[in-house]
Amino acid sequence: MSQVLLNVVILAAGKGTRMHSELPKVLHPLAGRPLLAHVLETAWNLAPAKTCVVYGYGGNAVPQAFADNRVQWVEQKEQKGTGHALMQAAPHLADAPVTLVLLGDVPLIAAETCRRVVQQAAHGQVVVLTIDKDNPAGYGRILREFGGEVCGIVEEKDATPEQRSIREINTGIMALPTARLGTWLQRLRPNNAQGEYYLTDVIAMAVADGVRVVTVHAGHQHEALGINSKTDLAQAERIWQRQSADALLAQGVTLADPARLDVRGSLKSGRDVSIDINCVFEGEVELGAGVQVGAHCVIRNSRIGAGVRIQPYSHIDGAEVGDGAIIGPYARLRPGTQLAGQVHIGNFVEIKNSAVGTESKINHLSYVGDSTVGSKVNIGAGTITCNYDGVNKHRTVIGDNAFIGSDTQLVAPVTVGDGATIGAGSTITRDAPAGELTLSRGRQTTISGWKRPQKKEK
């Protein structure tokens, strides 16, 4: 299919009264991103010469939500209908033969469906995307002559009872010849029940000017689902999530229940990945081969290495987890966490902005923040790094093979040397030397020459 040079205009100025929210309708989230973001992604897949977004309600809140210099933002200060919105964008259009009109509150439209519309429009025709609905209430109806040719579109409030019985409805998505668009827009008049400038009136003008109007049916009815209420939004969310689940299943991912999965961004998975129920993936997440994710986990903007086991109720945000690690249950990895291979992070352990070396274990009820932890370190239950002095953050360094006894406080900045042992219940405020036992019982003491107990042979 050859590429057609085109403009894309996205109409996104409406308030969305039935959303019962001060947030502009197109900023309401679907799968973790604003409705408009989904439509823009579809537009980018078409590689347009120019993309205009017409915004209105909420002022600059809509353009400020998107830092994208590919968009020409055009304000519709008064919302006087779809035709009036397109009038605002017309002066900014590129010299491309086709202008495709998309809607900022119709987020499930597929790029492939848009390509079919654009390909038909490349022949100089006006193309309207339609669907058949058993209950077409609220939508504009497609009017056809006895021979089947499209002769117009009538909005429901202006339709006769006979016209309201028509099941083929206008989705609002259409492609028009750019060269004729300006003339047609100038001829629009607000002579209707709403007192608005209807873009759909252009259809009758095209027919009168001898320009053929054709229709393309959407591949799936949900592609034309407009978001006008929280009920519509919830319906779209379930459709989007089921599509995401089906895509993962097709790639070989095992889902305990496809209906209980939420992907709010992108999820890349290796072979033999399994995901239990009620897991949420946000932002950019990558799961390596053989990863097992337990129930009720939340993973955001993280990379999980091969063979990792994430136990139930764990939260991972902005972290990198090395191969073969075991996380949780009830663990929390915060941004800046880097775990090497074979690390164990246990229940009610929180790691923040820290690197933990190979085969180290932090298994119970501990907080490790702003730290560098070496390899084969064992950190006992209830240990915390005291990284904040009330004004500044400080770093803790723990060397390879160190053993930190339970209920220890490491007051940063502090370094624990390689092979050092910290006695349980100690508050460490000065560097602990390598290979020695350091503890505090009233005051910090180092016992020179002490040897750590060795595991007895059975």
Hey, which residues are catalytic here? 364
- Tell me the sheet residues that pair with 57: none
Torsion sign, CA atoms 75, 78, 79, 82? negative
Strands 367-369 and 378-379: unpaired
The beta strands (E) that lie in 222-377 are given as 254-255, 261-269, 274-275, 279-287, 292-293, 298-300, 303-304, 309-310, 315-317, 320-321, 326-327, 332-333, 338-339, 344-347, 350-352, 355-356, 361-364, 367-369, 371-373
Whether 431 and 438 have beta carbons less than 8 Å apart is answered as no
Residue 266 sits at φ, ψ, to 5 deg, of -125, 140
The closest alpha carbon to 100, from 39, 168, 28, 167, belongs to 39
Using CB atoms within 10 A of its CB, is residue 409 exposed (0-12), middle (13-18) or buried (19+)? middle
Whether 253 and 125 have beta carbons less than 8 Å apart is answered as no
